[in-house]
Amino acid sequence: MEYRLSEKHLEDIENILQNDFMELGVHCVVLIDMAGNIIASLDNGEMTQDIYSLAALAAGNFGAVSAMAKIVGEDEFSLLFHKGEKENIHFSKVIDDFLLISIFGKETSLGFLRLKVAEANKKIKVILES
Amino acid sequence: MAFVNLKKKELQAKIVYYGPGRGGKTTNLEYIYEEFSSRIKTEMIAIKTHGDRTLFFDFLPFDIGKIKGYDVKMQLYTVPGQVKYNATRRLVLRGVDGVVFVADSMKVRREKNILSLRNLQKNLATYQKSIFNIPLVLQYNKRDLSEQGIPLLPVQILEKQLNSKLKAPSFEASALVGTNVVKTMKRIISMTIASLQKELK
């Protein structure tokens, strides 16, 4: 999973996250690799959570879920969703080795978020594969 | 592999504490967490079973300051040592930049150390990494147990059995009381940074 991203690439990714997620009212959005590194992250300024730990756990969690998928005969489950009282987390695989995590509250509709995730994934994929 | 964020001028690297079950990997991280609590702003993450054994991994993010203008964040992980959790160990090794092998000095654990080291070599190979090239430090843990009359393997034997081909830096340690825990960590960090130098331009 060797990869390098230029400043321009990182800026383009941040712009996508800003336009597709932050303006939708998402509390925090993070792009990580499967080693648990944070590639880009944006939040609404009110997040106090430690996103480095979140990234490590998300990468581990996704790996565990992929193993579960194989047990039931699937190649993988490409998205995950955890629902909470106030905060929800949506995980989606962009391409192999990259995962997009969105944390959002009640005010954001899951359906609309999923639509935005699908759009953003396509755009980010182009950058990561370039 | 480490990730260099050229925009934020930040380097994230992954160091994994590997070794046989009940060898002291988690205790190493717990000691570091206590010792550097003023510099570590977050909680240490530990995913354990009810019996206090590591089920998935422990995780400790450690900011070591600036190197060549980059904020360096070392992500310290442990793996579950129990033989049956190999898939989890392989998962945690993904993208690893440096390894501390925590060997158990107790005589009765001789075989377990050797098996765990072989397992590390095999798991690294699945990511096209060689145990001979990756930054690696060996730690002979539990040296303090000799005071309680528990038979330990002499360091020369441990060196011969585990390190004769690797020739990695090694430390006698006691994770429980903290002897050489920080030295081990500093050594692996400096070796990892040295191996990543070319990334920091």
Domain that holds residue B164: 10-199
> Is B5 a domain residue?
no
Confidence of residue A108 (pLDDT cuts 50, 70, 90): very high
Instruction: Return mean pLDDT, chain B.
Output: 94
User: Would the CB atoms of A60 and B57 count as touching at under 8 Å?
Assistant: yes
Confidence of residue B180 (pLDDT cuts 50, 70, 90): very high
In this structure, what CATH number is given to the domain that contains residue B165? Answer: 3.40.50.300
What percent of chain B has pLDDT above 70?
98
The domain A7-129: what is its CATH number?
3.30.450.30
The tens digit of pLDDT for each residue in A30-81 reads 999 999 999 999 999 888 888 999 999 999 998 888 888 999 999 888 888 9
Chain A positions touching B12 (Cβ under 8 A) are 37-38, 52
Confidence of residue B201 (pLDDT cuts 50, 70, 90): low
> Is B142 a domain residue?
yes
Closest-approach residue (CA) in chain B for A8: B7
In the predicted model, what is the mean pLDDT of residues B170-181?
97
The tens digit of pLDDT for each residue in B6-51 reads 999 999 999 999 999 999 999 999 999 999 998 888 889 888 877 7
Provide the pLDDT for residue A59: 92
What percent of chain B has pLDDT above 90?
85
CB proximity B4 to A under 8 Å: yes
3-state secondary structure chain B: CCEEECCCCEEEEEEEEECCCCCCHHHHHHHHHHHCCCCCCCCCEEEECCCCCEEEEEEEEEEEEEECCEEEEEEEEECCCCHHHHHHHHHHHCCCCEEEEEEECEHHHHHHHHHHHHHHHHHHHCCCCCCCCCCEEEEEECHHHHHHCCCECCHHHHHHHHHCCCCCCEEECECCCCECHHHHHHHHHHHHHHHHHHHCC
Whole-model pTM?
A: 0.91
* Number of compact structural domains in chain B: 1
Closest CA of chain B from A111, distance in Å = 31
CB proximity B76 to A under 8 Å: no
For an interface test with A, the pick among B92, B96, B126 (most A C-beta atoms closer than 10 Å) comes out as B92
In the predicted model, what is the mean pLDDT of residues B139-143?
98
All structural domains of chain A with their residue ranges:
7-129
CB proximity A57 to B under 8 Å: yes
Confidence of residue B123 (pLDDT cuts 50, 70, 90): very high
